[in-house]
């Protein structure tokens, strides 16, 4: 009799386990709607290219489980399609986790902005944050006192007042970019990337990257790429979505071993750059930069060198992509929309003329160029799916739907930017959309009227990009001066026929940009070409002839003001 009872209890226990397991992956009826789920996986097999679960053969084995399969690339198009089908707020069930997707300006304003007190955290990202980053990476850090303290420091470097002090760095790097466009136009992507990279290393560490293949920058960005690759595997997604898998040894899940190895390598690199900057500070040779100010705060706050290294390294990681990818998209837009290029050049010529380069002081008089900056950020958004999703820290209700505590909340930037009710004919590059918009990005983001926001590339709420003011200035200088100096036309094939780029072909991953394309870039006149040469020649006199680093602190840099901002 006891044996029969034992068998019965075992059967009941097994049945309960199976029942609970099969409930994993289901969408509760109170959640926002979304695509059909399957047991255990939920929608994982459909979002293998999402910001949290990217392509891996193991996931594609399950792709036949539903007729609504996720393509192996261009996830943003599927997220847009789901928004059209399920509405501005829908949900995806990713194993044991939930992702809420916001695809309207109103939803982003209502939740990420107005309820930012509970919508500013991150989900548990075991591979990316714990294994790859030692819980030190600001991008993936959960909301709390530690994140707020670091964010305060970053704001001190990049707020609108501090951003003005970095114009000397922006101007010099811009002049080198123009010169390189003149002498090696076929390498225009490298020219743009060097501009962005060098500007960011100058602002963060105080040293510039005079060449595209600078070894220090190369080491940093190789690490970024490895971090991205590891976090874009289906294995990493499964470990994140099914925590029980974390108990398996590394030989079963080699992704875990690779992540730990990357962290040790990355930490050495970040901390070494930070410590080198501290030595320069002590020797009195450091240029104004974020690390100079962070060293002062470290004295009072006492955070570790490991944390300081990751703060500075993460800033470099975040700061280099937006400007270079957006400028690369802008060049493509000029090739594809010559009528816009012509009108923009007419405005520049009317304000500046042919005898000097545009400056930041010209910005108020160039509304069409300001529109080009905004439209470039809208038309080709680098954070196409909002980069890393936010997370809600307590249960909430919105539009009659339940949003569970711990759910990820994704800002569907592409879906909002391509909404024809908000932006008529959204794939047309049209700076005229902003002819009456005189806000900067920060003002637009904080505007209580969601319909008045220019674009959503910089994010929202308390996680909004703190570097948007610097990025806007870099983009204005880059766009206005490139248009002042050059014409942009489609490349030619062997028969002399134009080969326009395809703006729908984008790279994949957290941050996107146009796939590599060719273009013809030519000087608008010999006089302008000579001015580009002269400007770079004169700028070069400010640099050491051996190291190509600044000889002295650039005129216009205010180190004391930057230090003060860090404490405010």
Contacts of 200 (CB under 8 A, 6+ apart): 315, 316, 319, 320
Q: Is 281 left (phi over 0), alpha (psi -120 to 50) or beta?
A: alpha
Place of tokens 């303290």: 149
User: Could you tell me if 79 and 412 are in contact, meaning their C-beta atoms sit under 8 angstroms apart?
Assistant: yes
Summarised one tens digit per residue, pLDDT across range 423-461 is: 999 999 999 999 999 999 999 999 999 999 999 999 999
How many CB atoms are closer than 10 A to CB 420? Answer: 9
Task: Establish if 229 belongs to a structural domain.
Answer: yes
User: Could you tell me if 123 and 389 are in contact, meaning their C-beta atoms sit under 8 angstroms apart?
Assistant: yes
Q: Which H or E run contains 17? A: helix 2-23
What is the pLDDT at residue 56? 35
What is the pLDDT at residue 563? 45
CA separation for the pair 251, 131 (Å, rounded): 15
Question: Which residue range is the domain that position 483 belongs to?
Answer: 145-380+476-567
What are the distances in angstroms from CA 319 to CA 10, 94, 380, 497, 518? 57, 30, 17, 38, 25
What are the distances in angstroms from CA 266 to CA 210, 279, 355? 23, 20, 47
Total structural domains in the chain?
A: 1
User: Could you tell me if 240 and 233 are in contact, meaning their C-beta atoms sit under 8 angstroms apart?
Assistant: no
CA separation for the pair 232, 406 (Å, rounded): 21
What is the pLDDT at residue 188? 97
What is the pLDDT at residue 227? 82
Task: Establish if 169 belongs to a structural domain.
Answer: yes
CA separation for the pair 48, 71 (Å, rounded): 8
What is the pLDDT at residue 71? 46
Token duo for residue 488: 């942009």
Domain CATH code at residue 160: 1.10.630.10
Closest CA to 304 of 280, 279, 274: 274
Eight-class DSSP state of 38: B
> Does 465 carry a binding-site annotation?
yes
Contacts of 113 (CB under 8 A, 6+ apart): 445, 446, 460, 461
Which parts of the chain have pLDDT scores under 70?
Answer: 1-24, 48-72, 558-568
Ramachandran angles phi, psi of 397, nearest 5°? -125, 140
Contacts of 187 (CB under 8 A, 6+ apart): 180, 212
What is the pLDDT at residue 562? 44
Task: Establish if 53 belongs to a structural domain.
Answer: no
């Amino acid at each position: 009799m006891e044996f029969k009872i034992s068998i019965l209890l075992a059967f009941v226990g097994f049945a309960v386990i199976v029942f609970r397991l099969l409930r994993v992956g289901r969408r509760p009826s109170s959640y926002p709607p979304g695509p059909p789920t399957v047991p255990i996986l939920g929608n994982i097999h459909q979002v293998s290219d999402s910001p949290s679960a990217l392509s891996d053969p193991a996931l594609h084995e399950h792709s036949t489980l539903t007729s609504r399969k996720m393509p192996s690339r261009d996830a943003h198009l599927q997220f847009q399609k789901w928004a059209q089908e399920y509405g501005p707020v829908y949900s995806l069930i990713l194993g044991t986790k939930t992702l809420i997707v916001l695809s309207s300006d109103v939803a982003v304003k209502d939740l990420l902005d107005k309820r930012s007190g509970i919508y500013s955290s991150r989900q548990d990202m075991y591979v990316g944050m714990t294994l790859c980053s030692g819980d030190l990476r600001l991008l993936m850090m959960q909301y709390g006192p530690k994140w707020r303290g670091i964010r305060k420091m970053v704001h001190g470097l990049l707020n609108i007042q501090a951003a003005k002090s970095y114009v000397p760095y922006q101007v010099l790097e811009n002049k080198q970019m123009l010169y390189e466009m003149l002498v090696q136009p076929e390498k225009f992507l490298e020219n743009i990337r060097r501009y962005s990279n060098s500007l960011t290393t100058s602002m963060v560490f105080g040293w510039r990257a005079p060449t595209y293949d600078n070894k220090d920058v190369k080491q940093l960005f190789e690490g970024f790429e490895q971090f991205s690759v590891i976090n874009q595997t289906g294995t990493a997604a499964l470990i994140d979505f099914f925590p029980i898998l974390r108990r398996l040894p590394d030989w079963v899940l080699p992704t875990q071993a690779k992540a730990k190895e990357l962290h040790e390598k990355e930490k050495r690199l970040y901390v070494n750059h930070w410590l080198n900057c501290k030595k320069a500070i002590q020797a009195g040779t450091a240029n104004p930069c974020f690390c100079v100010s962070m060293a002062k705060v470290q004295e009072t706050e006492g955070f570790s060198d490991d944390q300081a290294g990751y703060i500075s390294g993460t800033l470099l990681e975040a700061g280099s992509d937006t400007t270079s990818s957006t400028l690369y998209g802008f060049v493509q837009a000029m090739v594809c929309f010559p009528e816009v290029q012509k009108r923009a050049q007419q405005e520049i010529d009317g304000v500046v003329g042919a005898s000097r380069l545009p400056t930041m002081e010209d910005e108020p008089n160039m509304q069409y160029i300001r529109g080009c900056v905004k439209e470039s950020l809208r038309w080709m958004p680098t954070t196409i799916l909002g980069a890393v999703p936010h997370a809600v820290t307590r249960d909430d209700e919105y539009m009659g739907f339940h949003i569970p505590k711990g759910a990820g909340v994704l800002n569907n930037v592409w879906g909002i930017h391509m909404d024809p009710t908000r932006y008529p004919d959204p794939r047309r590059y049209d700076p005229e959309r902003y002819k009456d918009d005189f806000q900067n990005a920060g003002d637009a983001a904080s505007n209580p009227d969601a319909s008045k926001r220019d674009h959503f590339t910089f994010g929202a709420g308390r996680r909004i990009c703190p570097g948007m003011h610097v990025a806007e200035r870099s983009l204005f200088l880059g766009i206005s001066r490139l248009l002042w100096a050059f014409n942009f036309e489609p490349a030619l094939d062997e028969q002399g026929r134009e080969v326009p780029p395809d703006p729908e072909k984008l790279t994949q991953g957290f941050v996107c940009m146009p796939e590599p394309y060719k273009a013809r870039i030519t000087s608008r006149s010999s006089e302008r070409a000579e001015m580009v040469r002269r400007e770079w020649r004169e700028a070069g006199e400010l640099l050491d002839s051996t190291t190509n680093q600044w000889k002295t602190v650039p005129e216009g840099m205010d180190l004391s003001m930057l230090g003060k901002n860090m404490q405010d």
